[in-house]
Amino acid sequence: MNAPDRNMSKSPPPIRQLDEGAINRIAAGEVVERPASAVKELVENALDAGATRINVEIADGGKSLIRVTDDGNGISAGDLPLALSRHATSKIDGSDLTNIHSFGFRGEALPSLGAVGRLSVTSRAIGAEAARITVSGGTLSPVRPAALTAGTVVELRDLFYATPARLKFLRSDRAETQAITDMVKRLAMAAPSVGLTLRVIGDDGARTLLRADPESGDFFDRLGRRLDRLLGAEFAANALPIDATREDLRLTGFAALPTYSRGAAVAQFLFVNGRPVRDKLLNGALRAAYTDLLSRDRHPAAVLFLDCAAELVDVNVHPAKTEVRFRDPGLARGLIVSGLRHALAEAGHRSSSTLAGATLGAMQPEPATVAPRYQRDYGSDAARRTAYAMQAPPAQPGFAETAPPSVRADDAVADVVPDDHPLGAARAQVFENYIIAQGAESLVIVDQHAAHERLVYEDMKAALAANGVPAQALLIPEIVELGEGAATLLDHADAFARLGLGLEPFGPGTVAVRETPALLGPIHAEALLRDLCDMLSESGGTDLLADRLDAVLSRMACHGSVRSGRRLQPDEMNALLRRMEATPHSGQCNHGRPTYVALRKADIERLFGRT
């Protein structure tokens, strides 16, 4: 069936003024996208009212019930009807929309909720009697007396009953409940001194999904304890405190180590002047700060607060108030990148503590049909020591009784370094790639290739920042045939020269390598050039090499680091460990993989049933 041509109508439709109910329903489409949006608006109102405790109760994913109770300042009976009219607010006077210090200010939340659901507000202002008002589908009822000790109770039932088409776009109860939980979690981070509780009401009663009691102390103490409760002890144990300032902006919060990363951006919480936001600029800056510390499929975890004067940021971009615009976006982005990079560099060789747990989990013994009964279950300590002595094999001529067996008999590692170093002293090398080191109370397993790759990369970055990477001339130039890729590399020959890689044309599709970076030592030039050629072609050859220098240095470092399969001497292994301790970011390689795993002695003993 052909659609009618609107341009063929004989007369244009008349322009008419929409009624207040239709206006509120249209506004609700922007302010209240789903139940989580309603919870956000109501909790933010409670925070603006000075509440110290806020309880949120929901049913059926917030579709049938959302109830928010707070102990804030309350609303007087005379102001209740005005509170349910559009663009009525106590937060601002309308004279300056750039000087906003509250969560809400548009005066759209309550009338929008009342336009699409059945809303009731019961409140008691300080020194006044409690009162209640209801609105259903935009129809307001008279104010009536009510019973309430203090604060406000806002109850929203049958969300979107007045706009049933919107119900079809909502997800399952479980998904909506998860969205509400995430929203309450973000608001709990924004106000760690306020107690927040989220409960789900069902046929079998109510159950608590989230409870965050008020925290005290300074900002980092309050936030640290709140994050420990909301994100778990693992995040708190692997997060670094952030406190950086640039001009009129200040960045605070916590950022996790690179080795404590996630497969999706689900652990990134950003706040601007205490307001939870989802901003592409800030998310991009967070990603840029971890550029050469994470692989492409991993995402950093962080809780960051960016504070500035109210006039430097516009929060009136969208009715949902989750987007912001900075007067100087480059300043905000630069502060996040530099602040995080500085904190991560100060962490040195530190790596995530969760790696040890994953390693121990992979080392669990095979399950047995009968529960094992260890010798430790019988007798006293003295009896066990006597039994051990009686069971010990007799000493053989030519063998020291106290000498431990060597993992590699042809290259036993001497105890040449004390165990009190953070990464301990090298004891052995296994599989020609992993260094086994012993600390005071831990066993450290180091991936020699990944570790040396990071060390070479950091050396090359430091050299480039100083005077350029020193080059080493080849006695005999290496000729590499690259085909069409030769032109791409030669277009950036000057930039490569600054990196210590001297390239010259040598016929069609062929490149002569006359110099290589001295920091890399002997390398396979053809493999390096082909790798660099592939990297440049990934961007279609449009990006300037200057914008990708770190990526180029990372590729070079990979080709110049200690390869898997090379046997190291004891002094080489210990030298690698000491350099790791002194080098920033050495806890992970250039691709984001961990360079070492530390296992506590107590955990190893527990693995073998010795505790």
Residue 60 has pLDDT above 70, yes or no: yes
Instruction: Give the pLDDT score at 542.
Output: 41
In whole angstroms, what separates CA 341 from the centre of its chain?
Answer: 14
* Cβ(92)–Cβ(105) below 8 Å: yes
* Cβ(302)–Cβ(269) below 8 Å: yes
Instruction: Give the pLDDT score at 437.
Output: 92
* Cβ(525)–Cβ(516) below 8 Å: yes
Of 211, 166, 161, 179, whose CA–CA distance to 36 is shortest?
Answer: 179
pLDDT in tens, 236-289: 888 999 999 999 899 999 999 888 888 888 899 999 999 899 888 899 999 988
Going from the C-alpha of 359 to that of each of 41, 257, 469, the distances in angstroms are 44, 18, 38
The C-alpha atoms of residue 352 and residue 198 are separated, in whole angstroms, by: 31
Instruction: Give the pLDDT score at 346.
Output: 86
Instruction: Give the pLDDT score at 293.
Output: 84
In whole angstroms, what separates CA 276 from the centre of its chain?
Answer: 15
* Cβ(468)–Cβ(499) below 8 Å: yes
Instruction: Give the pLDDT score at 230.
Output: 93
Instruction: Give the pLDDT score at 524.
Output: 80
Residue 543 has pLDDT above 60, yes or no: no
Instruction: Give the pLDDT score at 196.
Output: 96
Rounded to the nearest 10 degrees, the angle between the axes of helix 219-231 and helix 173-190 is: 160
Going from the C-alpha of 400 to that of each of 12, 91, 238, 425, 426, the distances in angstroms are 105, 81, 43, 21, 21
Residue 86 has pLDDT above 50, yes or no: yes
Rounded to the nearest 10 degrees, the angle between the axes of helix 525-538 and helix 549-560 is: 150
In whole angstroms, what separates CA 481 from the centre of its chain?
Answer: 43
Residue 89 has pLDDT above 80, yes or no: no
Q: What percent of the chain has pLDDT over 70?
A: 77
Domain boundaries, the chain: 20-212, 219-346, 348-364+404-611
Please list, in sequence order, all residues whose beta carbon lies within 8 angstroms of the beta carbon of residue 233, skipping any fewer than 6 positions away. none
Please list, in sequence order, all residues whose beta carbon lies within 8 angstroms of the beta carbon of residue 273, skipping any fewer than 6 positions away. 101, 306, 307, 308, 310, 313, 315
Per the model's pLDDT, the better-predicted residue between 363 and 80 turns out to be: 80
Instruction: Give the pLDDT score at 311.
Output: 86
Eight-state DSSP code of residue 213: -
In this prediction, residue 225 has a pLDDT band, given cuts at 50, 70 and 90, of very high
pLDDT in tens, 315-346: 767 666 678 888 899 999 999 999 998 998 88
Residue 377 has pLDDT above 90, yes or no: no
Per the model's pLDDT, the better-predicted residue between 357 and 462 turns out to be: 462
In this prediction, residue 360 has a pLDDT band, given cuts at 50, 70 and 90, of low
Locate 543 and state its tokens. 């990006």
Q: What H or E segment, with its residue span, contains residue 48? A: helix 35-48
**Strand, coil or helix: what is 140?**
strand
Please list, in sequence order, all residues whose beta carbon lies within 8 angstroms of the beta carbon of residue 107, skipping any fewer than 6 positions away. 85, 86, 87, 88, 89, 91
In this prediction, residue 567 has a pLDDT band, given cuts at 50, 70 and 90, of confident
Sign of the four-CA dihedral 324, 327, 330, 335: negative
The C-alpha atoms of residue 489 and residue 480 are separated, in whole angstroms, by: 12
Locate 282 and state its tokens. 């800030």
- Span between the terminal Cα atoms of the chain, in Å: 79
Q: What H or E segment, with its residue span, contains residue 54? A: strand 53-59
Instruction: Give the pLDDT score at 396.
Output: 46
Domain topology for 348-364+404-611: Ribosomal Protein S8; Chain: A, domain 1 (3.30.1370)
Locate 363 and state its tokens. 């080392």
Instruction: Give the pLDDT score at 305.
Output: 96
Q: Can 219-346 and 348-364+404-611 be said to share one CATH topology? A: no
Of 156, 163, 189, whose CA–CA distance to 61 is shortest?
Answer: 156
In this prediction, residue 106 has a pLDDT band, given cuts at 50, 70 and 90, of low
Eight-state DSSP code of residue 260: S
Instruction: Give the pLDDT score at 601.
Output: 86
The reply to whether the predicted model has a pTM over 0.85 is: no
Mean pLDDT of 300-307: 94
Q: Torsion over CA of 526, 527, 532 and 535, rounded to 10 degrees?
A: 140
Report the CATH superfamily, name and number, of domain 20-212.
Histidine kinase-like ATPase, C-terminal domain (3.30.565.10)
The C-alpha atoms of residue 333 and residue 345 are separated, in whole angstroms, by: 18
Between 126-140, 350-364, 432-446, 494-508, the lowest mean confidence (pLDDT) is in 350-364
Phi, then psi, of 568 in degrees rounded to 5? -105, 145
Of 220, 215, 578, 202, whose CA–CA distance to 420 is shortest?
Answer: 578
Mean pLDDT of 150-168: 88
Mean pLDDT of 292-321: 83
Instruction: Give the pLDDT score at 241.
Output: 94
Report the half-sphere exposure of 13 (CA within 13 A, side-chain side): 5
Between 144-148, 256-260, 411-415, 560-564, the lowest mean confidence (pLDDT) is in 411-415
Per the model's pLDDT, the better-predicted residue between 199 and 492 turns out to be: 199
Instruction: Give the pLDDT score at 151.
Output: 94
Locate 257 and state its tokens. 């180590």
Highest mean pLDDT among 184-198, 229-243, 548-562: 184-198
Between 195-209, 372-386, 418-432, 447-461, the lowest mean confidence (pLDDT) is in 372-386
Mean pLDDT of 200-216: 92
Mean pLDDT of 389-406: 45
Locate 374 and state its tokens. 């260890």
Residue 192 has pLDDT above 90, yes or no: yes
Going from the C-alpha of 175 to that of each of 28, 93, 479, the distances in angstroms are 21, 38, 60
Locate 525 and state its tokens. 């030039």
In words, the CATH class of domain 219-346 is alpha beta
